[in-house]
A and B are shown apart, each in its own frame.
Chain A
Amino acid sequence: MRRVLERGQIEAGAERPPRIRLPDPARLFAARAARFRALAREGAIGSSIADYLHLMAALADAQHAALDAIEPSMLHLDEGSVDGGTRLPSVVGPYAPIFRDVLGLLVRALAVRGDLPRSTREALERLENASANALERYADALLARRDDQIDPATAPFVMAALQVPYAAAAAGLSPSDVESRIGAGEGCPACGTLPVASVVREDAISRGQRYLHCALCATEWHLVRITCSHCRSVQGLSYLSLDGGPDAIRAECCDRCKSYRKILYQETDADVDPVADDLASLTLDVLLADEGYHRASGHPLLWNGR
């Protein structure tokens, strides 16, 4: 984007853009629900899986409502008990009670809907009837991505229930502590989870900066543009999109490691949401699989079978 600066603006804007953007849970899930619905509309990129996107929109609404159930004290942030208060736990342990409460709220919020397929209803019932211990073990398997223990039918709901306390806890972290861990690995500097996609932000504080978006806690961290988010190559990258589809959704494809993550451009569409847009543009994934590219990481709300 071309910008013309007025006198004085150069000095005023000399502050570096943030390398960490912590989530704002009060907006996050509500905006995501709206985005899922927008992407499911007739003619939109997600219309071929509109029913699934509507279910995910209802799930995001329920996540938003479940935030009310969280007391800050439940996240242990005030005690600094989780790695000095600077890093989120890699197992559900400290958040187990709140995770189970949230999961219960999500399952009950969805179960009252009359339009659910029978298989969805059955998956929700399995979660409703699972023991506290089983749910905790399942959550840990998801966090550690132990694929052999994951049931693709229930995983999206459990992942959604994990997102709520993790995003709420991430919001209370110190950005400078989190920033110091950028680049330590491919995962999120706040919680260690792999990013779902990246987004080039175009707002007052982050003009044109690219951030990776955590699939779990929604923390965003900076990565230099034209860099493979998986193998860090800066050569052989190309940006593939659907010809005639949305310009705001492209796949950053790396010819060195043959992987990709999608990259969203807020300049083109102000409402992009990494979780919703990545899922809704499933058609792009199908074409990229034909081209021999594979995803650098999965999607929190769409899991493959074994």
Chain B
Amino acid sequence: MTDMTRREFLTFSGASLAGSSLALLGFSPSEAVASARDFKLAKATETRNTCPYCSVSCGILMYSLGDRSKNAKSTIFHIEGDPDHPVNRGTLCPKGAGLIDFIHSPSRLKYPEYRAPRSDRWQRISWDEALDRIARLLKQDRDANLVTRDAAGRTVNRWTTTGMLAASASSNETGYLTHKIVRSLGLVAFDNQARV
């Protein structure tokens, strides 16, 4: 890898082909060199990721077109199972196989939305508004419904009127923190690795 010989800079260009086997054996590289003008290069990217759907966490390969380094918008055009991933070895379940439609879905959720009670429409709100509202409602519900002692007088501190689903494709560290916060509040109905 650190071997900086001239092989490091080996190219088949118009100039180098003039002294190549092709030319020395009596064939002409000029047509091949000229044909390069008829083509443009197409650039694709392959990106390794984890399927977001469930706790099996299958490896996926996402194929996109476009050059991300030049501010061009890149478009994912294909997703398949990662053949090198030890969990799924290139396979995907029907949900995972449909990931491309999930990404391009016109109804994909991209920001917080709020539908007021008895309203028939969603309205976009900011993350701050969403988080403040969720925190306030959680606190109200917990203050009203936290069970500190059971019928026998034993301390239980359980909160059974609210439940929570968390992400399935998060890391161990994220899972640990989520668990720690949610259980400290007394929440009982909780799935941190949802198989939805």
Residues of A within 8 A of B (CB): 1-5, 10, 13, 17, 48-49, 51-52, 55, 116-120, 123, 145, 147, 151-153, 155-156, 186, 207-210, 224-226, 230-232, 234, 237-245, 250, 257, 259, 282-283, 285-291, 293-295, 297-299, 301-306
Contact = CB atoms under 8 A, between A and B. Distances in A.
Contacts of B39: 242-245, 283, 287
B40 interface: yes
A116 B45 CA distance: 42
Nearest to A9: B91
A5 B12 contact: no
A298 B96 CA distance: 40
A126 to B, nearest CB: 11
A131 B24 CA distance: 22
B140 interface: no
Given A117-B26, A305-B19, A231 B1 contact: yes
A201 to B, nearest CB: 9
A41 B94 CA distance: 41
A298 B7 contact: yes
B84 interface: yes
B10 A286 contact: no
A254 to B, nearest CB: 11
B89 to A, nearest CB: 8
A243 B44 CA distance: 11
A52 B46 contact: no
Pick the 6 closest A-B CB pairs, nearest first.
A305-B19, A117-B26, A208-B83, A119-B26, A289-B13, A285-B12
Nearest to A242: B39
Interface in B6-60: 6-14, 16-22, 24-27, 29, 31-36, 39-48
Interface of B: 1, 6-14, 16-22, 24-27, 29, 31-36, 39-48, 61, 67, 80-84, 89-92, 94, 97
A152 B11 contact: no
Contacts of B92: 2
A26 to B, nearest CB: 27
Nearest to B86: A16
23 contacts: A2-B80, A10-B91, A48-B32, A52-B25, A55-B27, A147-B6, A152-B20, A156-B25, A210-B83, A225-B82, A226-B61, A239-B45, A242-B41, A243-B39, A259-B8, A282-B29, A286-B12, A290-B36, A295-B12, A298-B10, A303-B21, A305-B24, A306-B19
B25 A286 contact: no
B82 A153 contact: no
Given A225-B84, A304-B20, 8 more contacts: A55-B25, A118-B26, A123-B24, A207-B90, A239-B45, A283-B39, A285-B12, A305-B24
Given A48-B35, A304-B20, A287 B80 contact: no
B90 to A, nearest CB: 4
B192 to A, nearest CB: 26
A304 B16 contact: yes
Contacts of A4: 94, 97
A208 B80 contact: yes
Contact of B22 (A49, A118, A207): A49
A241 B65 CA distance: 11
B40 A117 contact: no
Contacts of B20: 152, 302-305
B32 A237 contact: no
A287 B11 contact: no
A289 B12 contact: yes
B25 A240 contact: no
Contacts of B42: 240-243
A301 to B, nearest CB: 7
Contact of A282 (B1, B10, B12, B91): B12
B41 A48 contact: no
Contacts of A186: 1
Contacts of B7: 145, 147, 297-298
B137 to A, nearest CB: 42
Contacts of A288: 11, 41
A4 B93 CA distance: 8
Contacts of B1: 186, 230-232, 257
A304 B25 contact: no
Contacts of A120: 25-26
B131 to A, nearest CB: 33
A123 B25 contact: yes
B21 A152 contact: yes
B99 to A, nearest CB: 11
Given A1-B80, A48-B35, A304-B20, A238 B44 contact: yes
